[in-house]
Copies of this chain bind each other. A is one copy, B any other.
Amino acid sequence: MTSISELGEFGLIDRLTADLPRHNDETVAGVGDDCAVIAPNDGGEMLTLVTSDMLMEGIHFDLVYTPLKHLGYKAAVVNFSDVYAMNGQPRQLLVNIAVGQRIAVEHLDELYAGIRLACERYGVDLVGGDTSSSVTGLALSLTCIGQVRKSEIAYRSGAKKGDLVCVSGNLGAAYMGLQLLEREKLVFDGKQNDETAAQPDFSGREYLLERCLKPEARRDIVEKLREAGIQPTAMIDISDGLSSEMLHLCKKSQCGCRIYEERLPLDYQTAAAAEEFNMNVSTCALNGGEDYELLFTVPLTDHEKVSQMDDIRVIGYITEADLGTCLITRGETEEIPLRAQGFEHS
């Protein structure tokens, strides 16, 4: 028997979904992007996008420090983010939920209040789902349906040599928020006697906690790009960390990249918290995960347009595949291969 950890998540998905047959002409794209893509069978212009994510208690969230309303909001938003990552618009949401004995109706009211708020803010209709029991913890599985014009869809696979690599917002903040919460949990559990940590004070750290507990999907970026007449050649949302997503994008696009460490967008609070935790802030930005920012490529000819846009940073460029996927360290002193899990800074 082979343990799942031997293969890893992506190796496992590759194995389970190898050589899938295609029975229907409407199935445009399946496994391997942020959403599955379905065409209308009458040749219409709008494609249907579908994405589904599972959130398990004890793996993806910890109810000790996650308010249920925030959990509901986040569960919805991370699905919307996958639709925006295809340059689409989320439209409908289905919510499957399995609950253990500890959960009361009022808890579910809270969870649904968060889901409803996210739907309201993003203009999405809650259209169904399934409610059942669980012998243990809370399990959520949300499915989002979206739409995108054929001419506007952005796959992971469209990046070309010379394209600029762009990222929205800033990176690593959600990860630092999680570190703060985990530290407080240890204090709360009495497992740590660190004097400073024993005085929980999140003031000045609200931004990091919000990025962790109540992230937003970057609808605004998708809208701004459209308004500016910019069609991303490839796009993906950052759920597992910039390095991991950049590797996905390059693999699908059969290209390489050069990413500049000094171009990584960082918030001041992220840098301050990283210092406090004695962590390398670039590592947090590259591998932190749960940022739900958009990582995308645009043709070099859009350089001027994209440089003028707020909250978008050009962090590197696309190369031929045989040049590899590299990070150029500060001061251009070194080229380090991007890796999905951490990197050793010199």
Interchain CB contact under 8 A, A127 and B30: yes
Interchain CB contact under 8 A, B54 and A16: no
Interchain CB contact under 8 A, B135 and A31: no
Contact of A1 among B12, B106, B133 (CB under 8 A): B106
User: What's the Cα separation between A219 and B5 when bound, in Å?
Assistant: 39
User: Do A92 and B126 contact each other (CB < 8 Å), given the known contacts A98-B56, A139-B139?
Assistant: no
Interface locus among A38-46, A202-210, A259-267, A335-343:
A38-46
Closest CB pairs A-B (n = 7): A141-B141, A30-B127, A36-B127, A58-B135, A1-B104, A2-B105, A54-B96
Which residues between 131 and 155 of chain A lie within 8 Å of chain B, taking CB atoms? 131-137, 139, 141, 143, 145, 147
CB-CB < 8 A to A7: which residues of B? 105
Give chain A's interface residue range (CB within 8 Å of chain B). 35 or more
Interchain CB contact under 8 A, A60 and B120: no
Interface, chain A (partner B; CB < 8 A): 1-4, 6-7, 9, 12-13, 15-17, 20-24, 26-27, 29-31, 35-36, 38, 40-42, 44-46, 48, 50-54, 56-60, 91-92, 94, 96-99, 103-109, 112, 116, 119-120, 123-137, 139, 141, 143, 145, 147
Q: Which of A9, A16, A126 has the largest count of B CB atoms less than 10 A from its CB? A: A16
CB-CB < 8 A to A24: which residues of B? 91-92, 123-125
Contact of A52 among B9, B31, B94 (CB under 8 A): B94
Interchain CB contact under 8 A, B38 and A40: no
Interchain CB contact under 8 A, B4 and A104: yes
Contact of A91 among B26, B94, B145 (CB under 8 A): B26
* Given A3-B104, A20-B116, A30-B128, 18 further pairs, Cβ under 8 A: A1-B105, A17-B126, A20-B126, A23-B123, A23-B124, A24-B92, A24-B123, A26-B91, A26-B147, A30-B92, A41-B46, A44-B44, A48-B145, A50-B92, A54-B97, A59-B98, A59-B132, A139-B139
Interchain CB contact under 8 A, B96 and A38: no
User: What's the Cα separation between A96 and B51 when bound, in Å?
Assistant: 10
User: What's the Cα separation between A65 and B54 when bound, in Å?
Assistant: 26
Query: Distance in Å from the Cβ of A2 to the closest Cβ of chain B?
Result: 4
User: What's the Cα separation between A130 and B140 when bound, in Å?
Assistant: 12
CB-CB < 8 A to A56: which residues of B? 98, 132-135, 139
Contact of A131 among B16, B29, B131, B132 (CB under 8 A): B16
User: What's the Cα separation between A105 and B92 when bound, in Å?
Assistant: 33
User: Do A9 and B132 contact each other (CB < 8 Å), given the known contacts A27-B91, A94-B143?
Assistant: yes
Instruction: Report 20 cross-chain contacts, Cβ distance below 8 Å, ordered by A residue.
Output: A2-B106, A4-B108, A7-B105, A13-B131, A16-B108, A20-B126, A21-B125, A24-B125, A29-B127, A30-B127, A30-B128, A36-B92, A41-B147, A48-B48, A52-B128, A52-B129, A54-B132, A56-B133, A59-B134, A141-B141
